[in-house]
A and B are shown apart, each in its own frame.
Chain A
Amino acid sequence: MSRTWVTPGGVHPPENKHQSLTQPIGQLPIPEKLIIPLSQHIGAPATPCVEIGQQVLKGQVIAQAAGLVSIPMHAPSSGTISAIEHRPIAHASGMLAPCIEITTDGADTWIEHQGISDYEHITPSKLIEMVGNAGISGMGGAGFPSAVKLNPGRQRPIDTLIVNATECEPYITADDSAIRERAGEIVEGIKILSAILDHPTNIMIGIEDNKPEAIAALAPHVEDSGISVVVFPTKYPSGGEKQLIYILTGKELPAGKLPADEGIVCINIGTTYAIKRAVIDGEPLISRVTTVTGDAVGTPRNYDTLIGTPVRHLLEHNQFDGQAGGRVIMGGPMMGFTLPSADVPIVKTTNCILAPSYAEIPDDDPAQPCIRCGMCAEACPVSLLPQQLFWYAQAEEHDRLEAHNLFDCIECGACSYVCPSNIPLVQYYRAAKGDIRKAREEKVKSDHARERFEFHKERIEQAEREKEAKRAARREATQQAKADHLAATANGGAAPSAPATASPAGAVPTSSAADIIAAAQARAAAKQANPEDQRAKLERTIASAEQRLKMAEEKLAEAINEDSGKQDKLSAAVENTRQKLEQSKSKLAELAE
C-alpha cells in the first residue's frame, strides 16, 4: 500500500453517513419544471440559445459556453422552454441569477447522441473538446470547468492524477454510493482522463477508510490498470484539494500555485463518471448523484437527480417535515450553505441536501468571549492561528490579518466546529476577506485616480510654462527688434542677429511626470497585449451586438406591421448595429490569425 502523510489539525465530527446508505441510488419521477441556472460553475455564465416556447429534447444544448472558461448547459429532460429569467439559485448570498426553465413533457425523449468506445485512438484535444461540450465542471465543490483543468496549455507535464473520493464531510454519501454501484464506469472514466493527460505515472484514488464497501468495489476494476486506491484515516477536512495532495504525495502546494503548476491534476470521482458518460456514451452532464439526508426527511438516501430539479421536489418525495428543523443545507454540515427556499434547483455541484432536525443541529448558542484556548489552532488544517485572526478581524486590522495568512484559510469550518465559545469564526474571516479585497480594489482605483490627477496637473503646468516661455521669447524678440530697430536707425540697417532662444523651461516633462506617463502607457499596453482578454471582450461585444441586432430587427418588423412611420429610423439603426457587429467579427477573425 502506498504511503500516506498526515495533515496537521482536523476534526472528527460524527459521520452520520450510514443513514443514507441503507438503500441503493434511487430515481425520482421527472419534476414538472426544471430550472437550469446559466452559471453553475466558475467562469462566465452560459449564453442561452433557445427561445421561450421552443421544444427541446433531453440532452439538447440550451445554453452555449461563453468564452474559454465556461461550459454549455443541456436540457436534462425533454419538454418546452417556459421561461428565461432571474430565479433564486443555490448561493450563499441567496441571490437571483439567470435561469432557463423547462416544463417537462414526461416523455424524456433523448436527442440523438453517440459516444466513442476506442478513446485510445482519439487525440487528447478531441477528448477535451468532448468533455467541454458535455458541460462538465468539477462536481466536488467549486465547479471549475473540467475541460479547462485538463487543457494542455500548461508549463509542465502532468505526472500525478489524483481522483478525490475522500468525501470527508459528514452526512454526504453521494460519491460513496456512486462508487459502490458504478465502480466500473468510474474507473473507465479515470482511464479516459489518463489518456487525456498522456498517461501520468502516478494515478491515485484517494479515499477515507470509512468507505470499505466502496474500496472493495473499486478493487477488481483497478487491478493491473496502474491505478492505485490509496486509503487513509478518516479526518475532516482531508478532501480539500490541498489537503488531499499532501496526504497522498507529501507535497504542499505553494501558496498561490495551482496543482497543475506542480504536475498534479486533482479531480472529483463524480466528475470521472460524468467524463465516462460523455466520451463513451455521448451523454452530456444532465444528472448527478445527490444525497438527501437529515432527520427532517423520512427516508434518507441517494438519488440520481436531474440537474435543475427543484429542491422542493426532492424534499416532497422524501416526506420532509418542515416543523422538525429550521434549516435546509445544500452541501454538508461543515461547508454547506443554507437555502433561502425550496424553490432553488439542484446544480452540477450539489452533492447533498441536508435537512437536519433541531435535535441534530440545534440553533446556535450566543457567542461567548474568546478565551484564546487555542483549540481552533489545534484543529486548523493549514496551521493558522484562528484566535488571532478573529481578534484582528474584529479590530479590522487588515495588515495583521494578511501577516497571519488570512488568505490561506480554506474556510473548512474546523475552527468554528471546536470553538467552545461558539464564535462564528469562519463568518468573520469571510467578511474580513471581502473587506480586504474591496480595500485593495479601491486602493488600485484611487492610486489610478491620483496618478491621473497628478499627470493632469503636470500637463497644465507644463502648458503654462510653455506659454510663459513663448511669451518671454516674444517679449525678448520684441525688445530685440526694438533695440535692433533703434540700432538700425542709429547704425543704418545692419542685419539683426537672431535672438538666442533658450529652450523653454519645462518643455521636457520632469522625471516623475515621465514615470506617470510611462505607467499609464504600460497599463494601456497591458490591456491591449493580452489577446485572450481582448478576445473575450470582443466575444462579449459580439454577443451583445447580436442581441441588440435581434431586438432592433424585431422592432423594425413590428414597425413595418403597424406602419408607424418609424421604419426609416429603425432600419437605419438595424444597419448601424449590423455594421458594428461585422466590425467586431472581423476584428475577432484578425485576432484569431
Chain B
Amino acid sequence: MAFKQVSSPHAHAAQNTSQVMKLVLLATIPGLAALTWQFGWGSFINVVLASVTAVCCEAAIVKMRGRSISFYLGDYSAVVTAVLLGLALPPLAPWWVVVVGTVFSIVVAKQLYGGLGYNPFNPAMVGYVVLLISFPIQMTTWVAPLALLPAGAAHPGLVESLQIVFAGYSPADGVTGATPLDVFKHSSGLLVDQVYDREPLFNQAMFAGAGWEWVNLGFLLGGIILLYQRIFTWHGPVGMLGALALMSIIFWDSGSSSSPGSPLMHLFSGASMMGAFFILTDPVSSAVSNRGRLIFGVLIGVLVYVIRAWGNYPDAVAFAVLLANFAAPFIDNYTLPRTYGHTDRRRATEKEED
C-alpha cells in the first residue's frame, strides 16, 4: 500500500485566480451600466470589442510561446484588462482605436514582459496612454450625458452606434460634448459658482457633473463589493481618494476663478472611482505590503490632482498610475511589515542582521 506524497498544507481555500478575476468583472457591472445609461451603447461596444481582441491576442501569444491556451485563457486576466480599457475609452470611439489599444495592452504591456504576474506596468493604462498620445482627437471626444442631450434627441441606438464605431458614421449634432474636468480646464476667469451656474454639465447635476457622478457612484459600488469580498484591502483606494480629497481641499481656494474645482467634483468626476478601485488595485503592478499600497495610493492621488490642476491633460489617472508603477519597487524597499519577534522593520535590500 503506497500512498501519494504531497507536501503540506493539504487543505486549500476554494477561491482561485479565475474566480478572483470573474469577481472583478462582475464588480464592473454597476459602472458599465451607469456608463451605458448615461452615455449610450458606446462603452458597451468598447468592452465587447476589447474583450474579443484581447482573448485573440492572448491566445496567439500563448500559442507562440508553446503554452496551453485553455489554461492561460482560463485565468480571465486578459478579459479583465480588456474590460477596464474598454470602460476607460470614450464611448463611440472608432473600432481601430479600441483594437490598437487592446493589442498594445495585451501584447506589449503584458505578454512581452512574461504574461500574467510579470508586467511592471498596468496593461490597460499602458494601452490607454498609447492611445491618448497617438490619437488625441479620438480620445478626447466624449459623448454628452443623458441630461445634456438637446431636446428631443437621444443617444444613438445599438445599430447606429455600431455603424458609428465600425463604419465611421458621424454621430448626430449635440451627441458629443465636454467632460466636467474639461470644463474646469478651460474655465479661465470664472468663479467656481459661476461655472456651476452657467455650465449645463453642473447645473443639471446633483453634485459633481451630469452623468459622471452616476458613473463614479457605479464604480464606487463595485469597488465596495470587491472590498467586502476581500479581493483587495482598503489601503490603495483610501490612499488615493484621501490624497485627492485633501489636495482639492488645500487648493480649493474658496472657489476663486483659479480654483481647480471642488473636492466632490474631483472625487466623482473623470476616472477617480474607477481608478481607485479597479486600476490601482491591480496587484501585479502595485506595491506589495499594505503600508506600501497606502503610500502607492497616496502618490497616485497627489499625481492625479497635480496633473488635473496644473498639467496639460484634463484627467490623469492613467499617467499617475504608470508613474506610481515606476515607484512601486522603490516603495516596496522601505515598507516591509514588521515581522513577529522583530523590533524594527527591515529594508528589502538589507543583508542578514549581524
Contacts and interface: CB of A to CB of B under 8 A. Distances in A.
Nearest to B341: A255
B340 A383 contact: yes
Contacts of A94: 5
Given A337-B7, A421-B16, 17 more contacts: A13-B11, A170-B11, A252-B340, A255-B342, A328-B3, A334-B9, A334-B10, A338-B4, A338-B6, A340-B2, A368-B16, A369-B118, A373-B232, A374-B232, A383-B340, A384-B337, A420-B19
A420 B15 contact: yes
Given A327-B10, A402-B352, A408 B342 contact: yes
B67 to A, nearest CB: 11
Interface in A241-296: 242, 246, 252-257
B2 A408 contact: no
Contacts of A252: 340-341
A422 B337 contact: no
B9 A416 contact: yes
Interface string B334-347: 00111111110011
Contact of A370 (B15, B117, B293): B117
A364 B1 contact: no
A312 to B, nearest CB: 7
Contact of B3 (A326, A377, A421): A326
Contacts of B13: 11, 13, 417-418, 420
A503 B1 CA distance: 79
A408 B8 contact: no
Contacts of B6: 327, 338, 364
Contacts of A387: 288
A475 B117 CA distance: 77
* Consensus secondary structure, chain B interface: loop
A388 B117 CA distance: 12
A124 to B, nearest CB: 29
A558 to B, nearest CB: 41
Given A364-B6, A388-B288, A400 B349 contact: yes
Q: Which of B5, B7, B17, B340 has the most CB of A within 10 A?
A: B340
A152 B217 CA distance: 66
A500 B352 CA distance: 55
Given A327-B3, A340-B2, A377 B290 contact: yes
Nearest to B13: A418
Interface residues of A, number: 76
A469 B122 CA distance: 73
15 contacts: A13-B13, A246-B340, A253-B340, A342-B3, A364-B6, A368-B17, A371-B17, A371-B117, A373-B17, A377-B288, A383-B339, A403-B347, A411-B8, A421-B16, A424-B7
B230 A378 contact: yes
A534 interface: no
A334 B9 CA distance: 4
Interface residues of B, number: 52
Given A242-B341, A252-B341, A416 B332 contact: no
Query: A-B pairs with the 10 shortest C-beta distances?
Result: A413-B9, A369-B117, A382-B340, A333-B11, A255-B341, A326-B4, A405-B339, A383-B337, A327-B4, A333-B10
B289 interface: yes
Nearest to A411: B8
B290 to A, nearest CB: 7
A497 to B, nearest CB: 58
Contacts of B332: 388
* Consensus secondary structure, chain A interface: loop
Q: Which of A254, A378, A405, A424 has the most CB of B within 10 A?
A: A405
A322 B118 CA distance: 42
B116 interface: yes
A242 B15 contact: no
Contact of B288 (A255, A372, A414, A418): A372
Contacts of B36: none
B288 A374 contact: yes
Nearest to A355: B3
B71 interface: yes
Nearest to A254: B341
A361 B19 CA distance: 19
Contacts of B340: 242, 246, 252-253, 255, 381-383, 408
A535 interface: no
B20 A420 contact: yes
B62 interface: no
Interface of B: 1-13, 15-17, 19-20, 71, 75, 77, 115-118, 230-233, 283-284, 286, 288-290, 293, 332, 336-343, 346-352
A341 B1 contact: yes
Nearest to B114: A369
Interface of A: 11, 13-14, 92, 94, 170, 242, 246, 252-257, 312, 322, 326-329, 331, 333-342, 354, 356, 361, 363-366, 368-375, 377-378, 381-385, 387-388, 399-400, 402-405, 408, 411, 413-414, 416-422, 424, 426-427, 430
B336 to A, nearest CB: 7
Nearest to A315: B1
B284 A342 contact: no
A341 B289 contact: no
A427 B20 CA distance: 24
A443 to B, nearest CB: 11
Given A374-B233, A421-B17, A383 B10 contact: no
Contacts of B71: 366
Q: Which of A373, A399, A414 has the most CB of B within 10 A?
A: A373
Nearest to B118: A369
A40 to B, nearest CB: 20
Contacts of A371: 17, 20, 77, 116-117, 283-284
A338 B3 contact: yes
B346 A403 contact: yes
A585 B117 CA distance: 64
Contact of B342 (A328, A356, A366, A405): A405
B15 A405 contact: no
Nearest to A242: B340
A378 B229 CA distance: 13
A215 B180 CA distance: 63
A420 B17 contact: yes
Given A364-B12, A400-B349, A403-B350, A377 B7 contact: no
A192 B338 CA distance: 38
